[in-house]
Amino acid sequence: MDNLTKRATDVLSDADVVVGYSTYIDLIAPLIAGKEIISTGMTREVARVEAAIEQALAGKSCAIVSSGDSGIYAMAGLVFETCEIKAVTVVAPGSKKELPEDSEVLTVEVVPGIPALCSGAALLGAPLTHDFATISLSDLLTPWERIEQRIEAAAGSDFVIVLYNPKSKKRTWQLERARQILLKHRDKNTPVGIVSRAMRDKQNVEIVTLETMHTTDVDMQTTVFIGSSTSSRYLEFMYTPRGYTRKYDIK
């Protein structure tokens, strides 16, 4: 919880109801003792968001929790999508918009957090100090062809690449397929950082190369960082320099 912001802590403390996947609710248990909790399993995101909207429309202050940042591959998008479908009017905190009196209105604040791409990068060193592309390998809601096209495009234009959802119990081949595409564009010695459960229990951090990378310890709580042509490994760390042409002069 060292990586929660003050704003996140304050919002949780002020909430009447806290809604979230049970694993994440457990992580913040000490902060939300005594509050009403709506907690459901992994695949029940829509039900969770609908429950949260219902509570908020009933006048309760309601916090939906995700791991990392709720705006990066997480629940925030679904809140707006669901409100739009249900024709619930949403406004930002402090909004000066004039509202029709008879409409249902919710004030929605998205509280930014530390996403896995930041916590993982910090544990690896500094792989993301230059341009990067973030790609989820989950083909549950996105066609694989589209994902593969993005890997090709990012690999071909020398982005550092952050892979979310690299592997699950049911999706086991995607990361190896991504590696094959990357090897067409990048040197086999390109550094690859593999971070699981960053800054949580059972954290694991490993730096390998595109050639030696394996998927043994990779799961849904893992983020994989593929270096660009300029990324390098120094001792226990992986970093990407700021510039292609070195205009600065270190002695």
Q: Is 2 in the site for its own copies (CB under 8 A)?
A: yes
Q: Which of 29, 33, 42, 141 lies at the binding interface for its own copies (CB under 8 A)?
A: 141
Read off the amino acid at residue 6: K
| Nearest to 213, CA basis, from 197, 190, 245 | 190
Q: Which of 22, 23, 61, 95 lies at the binding interface for its own copies (CB under 8 A)?
A: 95
Applying CB under 8 A, the span of 1-9, 30-38, 179-187, 206-214 interacting with its own copies comes to: 1-9
Q: Which of 27, 57, 110, 181 lies at the binding interface for its own copies (CB under 8 A)?
A: 110
| Nearest to 139, CA basis, from 105, 156, 163 | 163
Instruction: Provide the β-strand partners of residue 238.
Output: 125, 233
Of 44-83, binders to its own copies (CB under 8 A) are 45-46, 50, 69-74, 76-83
Q: Which of 132, 190, 194, 224 lies at the binding interface for its own copies (CB under 8 A)?
A: 132
DSSP summary character for residue 173? S
- Tell me the number of residues near its own copies by CB under 8 A: 90
Interacting residues of 151 by C-beta distance below 8 A, sequence separation 6+: 135, 161, 178, 181, 182
Of 142-201, binders to its own copies (CB under 8 A) are 142-143, 146, 149-150, 152-154, 156-159, 199
Rounded to a whole number of angstroms, the minimum distance from the CB of residue 12 to its own copies is: 13
3-class secondary structure per residue, 21-44: EHHHHHHCHHHCCCCEEEEECCCC
Applying CB under 8 A, the span of 7-15, 30-38, 55-63, 174-182 interacting with its own copies comes to: 7-15
SS3 108: coil
